[in-house]
Amino acid sequence: MDGRDGLNNEHVFFTTSTNDGQSWTGLRTVENEIGHPADRGYYSAPAISPDGRDIYLVYNAFLEPYKTSTIGAANDRPLVGVVTHADVTAAGTVGTFSQLHRSPPGDARGSSQNDLTAEFLGDYVYAAATRDYGVAVWNDVRNAADCAAIDAWRMSLRTGDAVPTPAPQQDCPATFGNSDIFGGSYADPTTP
């Protein structure tokens, strides 16, 4: 993940070397290759198959620009998990990435640190590969419900407004804080 192009232009970059890191290919933007240029990459992990012929890359991405407020439906933070694949030639050239899976989006405001002061998405994004398939895991908030009382309180921590600390079990939907780690196994799409 890289934010060198500034806020709301975060990319899922990919580059390789075939000479032990003496030189590298140009940076590629995976989100563009799979046809989702609006994805704002957050975490990523690649895996190379033992025979070096396949790369699986998983990433989390926000789907909308950064928002300075947490309050209201218009300030949701849609997040997805994406699994991609690319073939590698015998010479080590990595082909174009294709999308194998895209999770349903969820609102990241439904996640929470233990002290409730902010959202929490851990770096639980990993991939592994065999000769026949890849596996991947990602942060997933499709089952996490936003809590308006928490949103207002979190904003008050930044603005200094007097908002009482909510009691999540009484003031929030039952699935507030229900962020998960989802995963899957994906067959090599180019194996005959």
Dump pLDDT digits (tens) for 19-36: 999 999 999 999 999 999
Q: What proportion of the chain, given as a percentage, has pLDDT over 90? A: 94
Cβ density class 153-163: b for 16+ within 10 Å, e for less: bbbeeeeeeee
As to burial, measured by CB atoms within 10 angstroms (0-12 exposed, 13-18 middle, 19+ buried), residue 80 is: buried
DSSP-derived letter for residue 78 is E
DSSP-derived letter for residue 188 is -
pLDDT band at residue 165 using 50, 70 and 90 as cut-offs = very high
State the average pLDDT over residues 50-60: 97
pLDDT value of position 17: 92
Q: Is the pLDDT of residue 191 over 90?
A: no
Q: What is the dihedral of CA 161, 167, 168, 171, to 10 degrees?
A: -80
**Alpha carbons 144 and 173: distance in angstroms, whole number:** 9
Could you report the per-residue pLDDT of 75-88, keeping only the tens digit for each? Answer: 999 999 999 999 99
Could you report the per-residue pLDDT of 94-140, keeping only the tens digit for each? Answer: 999 999 999 999 999 999 999 999 999 988 999 999 999 999 999 99
Please tell me the number of Cα atoms within 13 Å of 191 on its side-chain side: 12
pLDDT value of position 4: 93
State the average pLDDT over residues 62-83: 95
**Alpha carbons 147 and 116: distance in angstroms, whole number:** 11
Q: Which two tokens stand for residue 56?
A: 């699986």
**Alpha carbons 6 and 114: distance in angstroms, whole number:** 30
Chain centre distance of CA 157 = 26
Could you report the per-residue pLDDT of 2-19, keeping only the tens digit for each? Answer: 999 999 999 999 999 999
